[in-house]
Amino acid sequence: MSHNDSHNEHHEHGYYTGDIHNQFVPEHVDPKGKAIIWRTFWILLIVTIFEVGIAFTSIPKQVLLYIFIALTIVKAYFIVYFFMHLKAEWKSFQYTIILPFILIVYLIFIALIEGNYLTKVMTGN
């Protein structure tokens, strides 16, 4: 059995990477793939238009800030989960990718505290 035969045998379920590791990669093709892509596109477009639309309304700046951050995370979710197909990966891998960003939340937290302290020191209060 040559290398090529083994690859053809598994054509429907996955493929061998064909490099020195020649790892078998299971592949599950979503028949609704195209519909999901266009649905994601419309969501991203409508959210972006909505953001630009409310930027010029009389909503207070502080409220707008939180709305924008929330909508940005919504857009990031759709890009990562549907365009980058993270949703199709195993849960263990999803957590491996997502959980390290808790450190960024912590970074924002300490940067705000340091920033406030720095302002007080430099203005002499």
41 binds other proteins per the rule CB under 8 A: yes
Among 58, 92, 102, 125, binds other proteins (CB under 8 A): 92
Alpha carbon distance 20, 25 (integer Å)? 14
Contacts of 68 (CB under 8 A, 6+ apart): 51
The footprint of other proteins on residues 55-84 (CB under 8 A) is 55, 64-65, 68-69, 71-72, 75-76, 79-80, 83-84
| Contact present, 75 and 42 (Cβ < 8 Å) | no
3 binds other proteins per the rule CB under 8 A: yes
| Contact present, 75 and 83 (Cβ < 8 Å) | no
Alpha carbon distance 35, 18 (integer Å)? 31
Phi, psi of 26 (to 5 degrees): -70, 140
- The residue ranges that bind other proteins (CB under 8 A) are 1, 3, 6-11, 13-27, 29, 33-34, 37-38, 40-41, 44-45, 48-49, 51-52, 55, 64-65, 68-69, 71-72, 75-76, 79-80, 83-85, 89-90, 92-93, 96-97, 100-101, 103-104, 107-108, 111-112, 114-116, 118-119
